[in-house]
Structure 1
Amino acid sequence: MLLKKENGWKKEGLEKAKIFEFCEEYKRSLDFGKTEREYVKYGLELAKKEGFVCASKKESLKAGDKVFYVNREKNLVLVVIGKEDITKGINYVVSHIDSPRIDLKQNPLYEELELAYMKTHYYGGIKKYQWASIPLSLHGVVILSNGEKKDIVIGEKDDDPVFTIPDLLPHLAAKYQGDRQTSEVIKGEELHIIVGSMPTSIKNAEVKELIKYKILEELNETYGMIEEDFISAEFQLVPAFKAKDIGLDRSLIGAYGQDDRVCGYTSLKAILDINGIPEKTAVCFLADKEETGSHGSTGLQSNYLEYFTSDLISKIKKEYTDLDLRKTLWNSNALSSDVNAAVDPIFKGVHEVQNAAKLNYGIVVTKFTGARGKSGTNDADAEYVWSIRNLLNSNNITWQIGELGRVDEGGGGTVAMFLAQVGIKTIDVGPALLAMHSPFEVSSKLDVYETYKTYRVFFEKMI
């Protein structure tokens, strides 16, 4: 039998209205949660409405219980306790909710030629030139000198100001930028945002930088901030525009942050919509720091997965040992739910088309990622690949295989290897995107819905 896949919109009995309706809420989630902190708040609100309670409030757990864990406001874990002995394994779906962006430096504000700017440091893998001359909104949290914590969002409301990184006009760019490599058309130290141009009205001989001082006055009046407070703040600049339908047929979605909040949203909805009590305990884990290597206490290289898993076991079993944790992890299944690169006909030369993903062909099963000689990857074993393939086929899921570019073209990684290194059977399964890591990534509505269906089936039926 030939390996033959087809455009998912051709499938008989396709429920187009249901797909479009599902994607409307998905788009709203992207508009609401443009940072990992915001997405945790969004997910937590949905979970509480569906009866999930904080795990710390439960001394014991039984089949059917629904609990959540929050780690430093950047990780969210939702759990539905299954019928089976937990040491026989958990079904994990693990997504990341951080996305490439522009962060403010810790001492960002300066004035030059009577303009006020803020300096930045980009986060994750971006094409820097894509972030110039577009409207940016500022999202973040600041801890004031008195210990008060404030959430700040500027640029999302219709009457809010926005920010921008100015680019050089083409009339003067030929010599200055023309000979630069693509990665340095705009350099990292040139990613400065304009924040003001009006001088303060204060009459004080000690104040030399009148524009900068005016910005500090605005921050102090509105948020109680002083300049030193930037050191205890996390401010991110993200595109100020909203998620939109693309195309006359509205079949595609354009938005910031779809890598990887498309998987964050679909896995979140999947665990909230579980029908009845699953056989195996189901875990939706929304992680952080994937775009910078999964380091830190909120990344997958921390031991937080082992921490909350051991807490679950200890609340289910009266007597708990470290071996119980090792058995549970070793017997577990995971979907590393991250996106793959869809073939763009304009740039199809970077792909080996026979093994590349396409928009509208359903969720992508990626056996391995990595770079060149499979460096820095989990390479799922044949037995586990078969079990996922069988699960998808037996539940009428539209799916395809995918590889991240031609062998020597480049590559990329996911959190899969960090799950696998503690013994969990793991494979990458997520939708394909065009323009990945850009400020306006493109997904297929059909693929988004098939991703949701996949994760729900995995939670309910994977054994």
Structure 2
Amino acid sequence: MSEPHRFDRGHTDDLMTFLAASPTPYHAVANTAERLEKAGFKQVAETDAWDGSSGGKYVLRGGAIIAWYIPESAAAHTPYRIVGAHTDSPNLRVKPLPDAGAHGWRQVAVEIYGGPLMNSWLDRDLGLAGRLTLRDGSTRLVNVDRPLLRVPQLAIHLDRSVSSEGLKLDKQRHLQPVWGLSDTVRDGDLIAFLESESDLAAGEVTGWDLMVHSVEPPAYLGRDKELLAGPRMDNLLSVHAATAALAAVATGGAGLPYIPVLAAFDHEENGSQSDTGADGPLLGSVLERSVFARGGSYEDKARAFAGTVCLSSDTGHAVHPNYAERHDPTHHPRVNGGPILKVNVNNRYATDGSGRAVWAAACEKANVPFQSFVSNNSMPCGTTIGPITAARHGIKTVDIGVAILSMHSARELCGVDDPHLLANAMVAFLEG
């Protein structure tokens, strides 16, 4: 096997480009597919018959993408090495009847998706992006990436208690953005505007999946520019790293002992239960069809799954300098300290001792330091696609990621070195 590309800070520069170009899961998978195409991958349709030929392939479904590379030496029972991630982030999403307003203001009716830090969406210049469905059943991506909307905060003069008692937001009343002035609410205004933005005829759009995003671009931060501030790091940071790692492994893929896979799902932030979520059938269907396309049997599938390992890569919590007491006193992951191994004995993460050994071997091979994360016993622990993947498919799964601050904010913060360290560890893992 040829020596794969080793990522450096140029990877983080590229991450900034990817974040800015991916305001929605639909844009994220389109950009991922474009990058894989440049590495020689080809899209296969779920409605077509698949062949067992070698090379890179991928499936797109909504806001999810599954991509895999089959070495020429692969047998029907060859196990997989999977990196799993998710494409969605907490945000504000447009309701079915989007046109709203009051007291001379034109507004957009939005619903809360996932668990955002709601205050982080206040007083930001917001764009609007997503997927439009047309009368003929086709879809069109749209991205109005300029200041279009704003959720205005109430002036302190009208809420004197905010400084002493904290900001209290009602999800229904306080988070509806404004986007202009009007004495009347005109149904169809927002969609008509998006049709015009997309050079579509009036009335051509019959369905939509739209969400708002901050138009402030990612930026290096700090005296020495050792930090990166930007949107949707949870979890496009992992999607980007996994895409780069899979492309690198495929480029030098002769002699791979495993079939490397990228599985980037939608809807992790609200439970993963959808046809594009980790708790749906997509991954299992793709892996099973890949076995059968290579002439394999149910027995071959069982053998392949038994030898498969998945890295569930998602962001985690770096120790916060202002709230250190919220962290476990002996586990303080630091930014730029390398990716983290996430452990929870109640299976909120899927890592066990044998999984830790797999991860440690990959990091050692890549010469990448790693840290351990465990929650403070007095604090509830979040979860990931890891336990879902392990339980649904019977696949050994290890939860890892990059430590960040401001998770679920409209703008999150990480170290500039951790993204490329994560990508290098993923390369070593996928190589086996």
**Normalising to structure 1: TM-score of the pair?**
0.84
RMSD over equivalenced CA pairs, Å: 2.6
Cα distance, 1:147 vs. partner?
5.0
Report 1:254-293 matches (<5 A): 254-274=229-249, 275-277=252-254, 278-293=256-271
Closer, same or farther in 2 for the Cα pair 1:259/1:219, shift >3 Å? Answer: closer
Closer, same or farther in 2 for the Cα pair 1:58/1:135, shift >3 Å? Answer: same
2:274 maps to which of 296, 317, 324: 296
Is the CA contact (8 Å cut-off) linking 2:64 and 2:265 kept in structure 1?
Answer: yes
Cα distance, 1:408 vs. partner?
1.7
Task: Indicate whether 1:31 and 2:8 are aligned.
Answer: no
Hey, which of these two has a bigger chunk of helix by percent?
Answer: 1
Cα distance, 1:381 vs. partner?
2.7
Which amino acid is the alignment partner of residue 339 of structure 2? I
Which amino acid is the alignment partner of residue 409 of structure 1? M
Q: Name which of structure 1's ranges 42-51 and 145-154 shifts more when overlaid on structure 2.
A: 145-154
Counterpart of 2:179?
Answer: 195
d(CA) in 1 for partners of 2:361 and 2:320? Answer: 29
5+ unaligned residues in a row in structure 1: which ranges? 1-16, 200-208, 369-373
Task: Indicate whether 1:79 and 2:68 are aligned.
Answer: yes
d(CA) in 2 for partners of 1:103 and 1:399? Answer: 36
| Equivalent position SS for 1:259 | helix
Please give the per-residue CA displacement for 1:207-266, whole angstroms capped at 9, x wherever unaligned: xx2777876764565555879967x21110111111100112111110000011111000
Counterpart of 2:361?
Answer: 390
The structure with the largest alpha-carbon Rg is: 1
Is the CA contact (8 Å cut-off) linking 2:7 and 2:423 kept in structure 1?
Answer: no
d(CA) in 1 for partners of 2:390 and 2:424? Answer: 24
Cα distance, 1:306 vs. partner?
1.0
Which amino acid is the alignment partner of residue 181 of structure 2? S
Cα distance, 1:142 vs. partner?
2.3
d(CA) in 1 for partners of 2:182 and 2:376? Answer: 51
Give the share of equivalent positions with the same residue, in percent.
Answer: 19
d(CA) in 2 for partners of 1:355 and 1:337? Answer: 19
d(CA) in 1 for partners of 2:289 and 2:399? Answer: 26
Counterpart of 1:335?
Answer: 311
Please give the per-residue CA displacement for 1:391-412, whole angstroms capped at 9, x wherever unaligned: 3224311111112x31121220
Report 1:110-259 matches (<5 A): 110-144=100-134, 149-154=139-144, 156=145, 160-174=146-160, 184-198=168-182, 209=184, 218=193, 221-222=196-197, 232-259=207-234
Is the CA contact (8 Å cut-off) linking 2:82 and 2:261 kept in structure 1?
Answer: yes
| Equivalent position SS for 2:77 | helix
1:320 maps to which of 297, 308, 319: 297
Report 1:355-434 matches (<5 A): 355-368=331-344, 374-375=345-346, 377-403=348-374, 405-421=375-391, 422-434=393-405
Closer, same or farther in 2 for the Cα pair 1:311/1:125, shift >3 Å? Answer: same
Cα distance, 1:161 vs. partner?
3.8
Which amino acid is the alignment partner of residue 401 of structure 1? S
**Normalising to structure 2: TM-score of the pair?**
0.89
Counterpart of 1:202?
Answer: none
Task: Indicate whether 1:101 and 2:91 are aligned.
Answer: yes
d(CA) in 2 for partners of 1:61 and 1:411? Answer: 42
d(CA) in 2 for partners of 1:308 and 1:217? Answer: 38
Closer, same or farther in 2 for the Cα pair 1:227/1:406, shift >3 Å? Answer: farther
Report 1:62-77 matches (<5 A): 62=53, 64-71=54-61, 73-77=62-66
Counterpart of 1:46?
Answer: 35
Counterpart of 1:311?
Answer: 289
d(CA) in 2 for partners of 1:193 and 1:263? Answer: 30
